[in-house]
Amino acid sequence: MAYEVTATRKRPQLFDGLVGQQFVVSTIKNSIEQGRIAHAYLFSGPRGVGKTSSARILAKALNCEQGPTPYPCGVCANCREITQGNSTDVIEIDGASNT
C-alpha cells in the first residue's frame, strides 16, 4: 500500500464534515437545493482551511448519480472516482505546491 498523507486520508466526504466553514456550506447547499448553481466557484484562502475538500465535495454533489444533491451518496461510480482522484470530469489544480 502506498503512503498517504493523513490530511488526505481524513478529508471530509460530506459538507457537514467541513469544520469552520458553516457559511460556505450553507450557501452551497442552499444553491443546490434551490437549483441556482453558479457557473463557477472560486475557493480562496490560507493553507488548511478546506478549499480542496470543499471543491471535491461540491464536485461530488453536482456529479452524483442521484442528481445535483447537497448530500452526495459517496458510493456511485461518479462519487468514488472523484474521491479517488480518477474522474475524467473533474480536474483538480494543485495550488498548494509552488511549482
Residue-range definition of the domain harbouring residue 70: 49-89
Does residue 57 fall inside a structural domain?
yes
Which helix or strand (DSSP H or E) is residue 32 part of? helix 22-33
Give the residue among 91, 98, 94 at the shortest CA–CA distance from 5. Answer: 94
Does residue 40 fall inside a structural domain?
no
Does residue 66 fall inside a structural domain?
yes
Does residue 23 fall inside a structural domain?
no
Domain count, the chain: 1
Does residue 83 fall inside a structural domain?
yes
Does residue 29 fall inside a structural domain?
no
- Encode the chain (99 residues) as per-residue pLDDT tens digits: 676 666 567 889 999 999 999 999 999 999 999 999 999 999 999 988 999 999 999 999 999 999 899 999 999 999 999 999 999 999 988 766 655
Handedness of CA 60, 66, 71, 72 (dihedral sign): negative
Does residue 22 fall inside a structural domain?
no
Give the residue among 38, 32, 98 at the shortest CA–CA distance from 60. Answer: 32
Does residue 82 fall inside a structural domain?
yes
Tell me phi and psi for residue 55, to 5 degrees.
-65, -40
Alpha carbons 20 and 15: distance in angstroms, whole number: 11
